Amino acid sequence: MADNLIHDIGKMNEILLEDLSTLEMMVQNYDNQTWRRAYARAFFAMVEATLYNLKIGMFFAQHPLVEEEIELLFGKRKSISPSTLRPVRMTIVENLTKTFSMYASIHCSNYQLRINTKGWQYFLKSIKIRRRVTHPKSVKEFELSNKEISILIQTKEWYLINLMRLVESSYKSLRAEINGPIKMLKKREKEKISRQLKLLTTPTIWD
């Protein structure tokens, strides 16, 4: 079951990035508002999907998630009855910062998402662009300028770079953590464990 899930996550990431790459080529070569709106939507589809995949990946971590962490990650909180949970809407900013922070923490990584950068400011601007084209109040709000497309593309690069840094940092921390207990294992067994660990913690999108 775990192998199938990991394969599906990798395939999903691959499809989303392929969509984004194709649309990026279209917006850079054609002055077409349809492609531009599609790019904005595809970018945020990729962000939300990769964040969800990171959450799923945490279930395979060396340190299991506790109930409170699961509730926080998936936007749920206890209702009036102690045994029931109800969904709580998280903003995409909350989703990104909480998921990155918890992924790093549970994998013993010192990675921190920096929010005092130009990339972070572009991310906030991109959210406003996405909100405008998905919930337009007028025909004019459907239109995306060259500057806005440039912001979206730079935001995409910023996001993927930080996603890669998060995963690589977490992978290195996990490698260090398992090296002690498996020193006495035969070389073949050690390599097998390391391969499995890498499969669980490195998204296919970075292959």
* Beta carbons within 10 angstroms of residue 54's beta carbon: 21
**What is the Cα–Cα distance from 15 to 25, expressed in whole angstroms?**
16
What average pLDDT does the segment 161-185 reach?
66
Residues 7-47 have pLDDT tens digits of 677 788 888 889 999 999 999 999 999 999 999 999 999 99
pLDDT band at 84 (very low <50, low <70, confident <90, very high): low
Q: Which residues pair with 78 in a beta bridge?
A: 85
Mean pLDDT of 179-200: 44
Helix 118-134, helix 33-57: angle, nearest 10:
120
Tokens of 68: 């409170």
21, 14 in Cβ contact below 8 A?
no
Q: Rounded CA gap, 108 and 116, in Å?
A: 23
What pLDDT, on the 0 to 100 scale, is given for residue 77?
A: 61
pTM (2 d.p.)? 0.76
Residue 23: domain span: 2-206
Domain tally, the chain:
1
- pLDDT of residue 179 exceeding 70, the answer is no
Nearest to 49 by CA among 89, 99, 120: 99
Higher per-residue confidence, 123 vs 102: 123
